[in-house]
Amino acid sequence: MKVILLVDFGSTYTKITALDPELNGIIGTAQSYTTVETDIAEGLQAAVSLLEADSGKVEVVQLKACSSAAGGLRMLVSGLVEKLTAEAARQAALGAGAKVLKVYSRQLTEADASEIAAIQPDIFLLTGGTDGGDELNILANAKMLSKLDLKCPILVAGNRSVAPECQKILANNGKEAIVCPNVMPKLGTLNIQPVQEEIRSLFLKRIIEAKGLSHIENLLTGIMMPTPVAVLKGLKLLSQGHGKEAGIGDLMAVDLGGATCDVYSIAKGDPLSINTILKGLPEPFAKRTVEGDIGMRINAHGIAAKDGLERLVEMCGIPSDQLNVMIDQLSENISQLPESEEQKRLDQALASLALETATIRHAGSVEETYTPAGLMYIQEGKDLREVDQMIFIGGTLVRGEGLEAAAEYCKYSSRYPASLRPKQFRTCSDKKYILSAMGLIAEDHPLEALRIMKKEIVYEQ
């Protein structure tokens, strides 16, 4: 049987989706452990074997893939003002599918330099200053980076008046430096697409080989991209539709994994009332954030650190000393599935608090202020209160029980009244984890991808 094979090389699992060559539907899906430590093709073949056990022998006529294996695309970002150029650079990196480990503002310190050298990111994004504006900050940071033992490429996307000089400083010290258009050429104006395209190009040319993915290069007939980019493409298509085929409208999506939690929103998020003033940079219509400090296994302690053990104890009824031991076990045994009732209660509580934290960080916020004209509201970020669809992507939460209860923690709450999260929504599940697969074919076959998603994304009863 001939198939088009769509592959997502994840940090833990390699997930595959087989389509019939006419793109009329899904033949089957399967997943296996990602074998980054040996040959990544082994995990792919294991997943194909599982697929063939259910669907019969397959002949792959086309293969497209995305990847977040070996930690995904790890980036560091620096800019001038935290809420302006640094934030613009962060948005550019996240929209390109990267995991932004840290954002630095103002001039880098010696402590910052030591931290950067220790992290050894895949890409460093250096920004700062509008075109014709501040020059000192980005020049100082270029000089600091030039002294470090960094192996990664450095993208220079700041003040165009000095960007070539920054490149020269870095190149003279053996660094690979690439100049891109300024991410903020004018105050409050974003231009992030060019740097996103360069990030994607670097991912294809260099990061794939560094992650061991070049082992399957001879099999590929399509361009690879970071998994979050594929998911974002799929969600945008599902939301907006294509041609005469309608999409499902504004939505949010959450992908809760063992190490991170990705949140997506496809919505404008503009202020809902005339007495609300929007503050800060414009938000992207298709937005992604990733929380690298919270996850169901590797970063389970990050969830406890955010809210403290007291809230977890309250939610799952397990004494704090025992809770610490159980979380240690989860962090050390990332493939562990809950078996006992206590383990199931802990997983439920961890998932609920992880979703709460990640959606609060993603959504905008509002605060009251009194002016001569009376009470006004200051909004930062997106107002998502009217988004009425939430998609949960893969993971143990979707495959197990308790999704509806955990989903409540994604909604607006009097506990966090300033957070502009959805008031109510229908809960949907990407149980087969096909969103990244559909993102891979969204550009070439948008109508077919849209129809498959509308059929496969299941509304919970």
Helix H or strand E encompassing 348: helix 341-362
As given in the structure block, the two tokens for residue 228 are: 């979050």
CA separation for the pair 98, 85 (Å, rounded): 17
Q: Which residue has the tokens 């993971």?
A: 395
Q: Count the Cβ atoms, other than its own, within 10 Å of residue 21.
A: 13
Helices (H), 274-340: 300-307, 309-316, 320-332
Which stretch of 282-286, 340-344, 386-390, 456-460 has the lowest confidence by average pLDDT?
456-460
Mean pLDDT for the stretch of residues 150-166: 94
Confidence band, pLDDT 50/70/90 cuts, at residue 399? low
Confidence band, pLDDT 50/70/90 cuts, at residue 71? low
Mean pLDDT for the stretch of residues 181-188: 90
Confidence band, pLDDT 50/70/90 cuts, at residue 185? very high
Computed over every residue of the chain, the mean pLDDT equals 86
**pTM of the prediction?**
0.84
Mean pLDDT for the stretch of residues 259-281: 89
As given in the structure block, the two tokens for residue 389 are: 């669809």
Nearest Cα neighbor of 79 from 182, 151, 161 is 182
pLDDT above 70 (res 36): no
Edge-to-edge strand list for the sheet holding 59-67: 26-33, 13-19, 2-9, 59-67, 225-226
- Residue-wise pLDDT for 2-23, tens only, equals 888 998 887 677 888 999 888 8
As given in the structure block, the two tokens for residue 57 are: 């022998």
Q: Which residue has the tokens 């562990």?
A: 336
Q: How many CA atoms lie within 13 A of 7 on its CB side?
A: 34
pLDDT above 90 (res 417): yes
pLDDT of residue 48: 87
pLDDT above 60 (res 435): yes
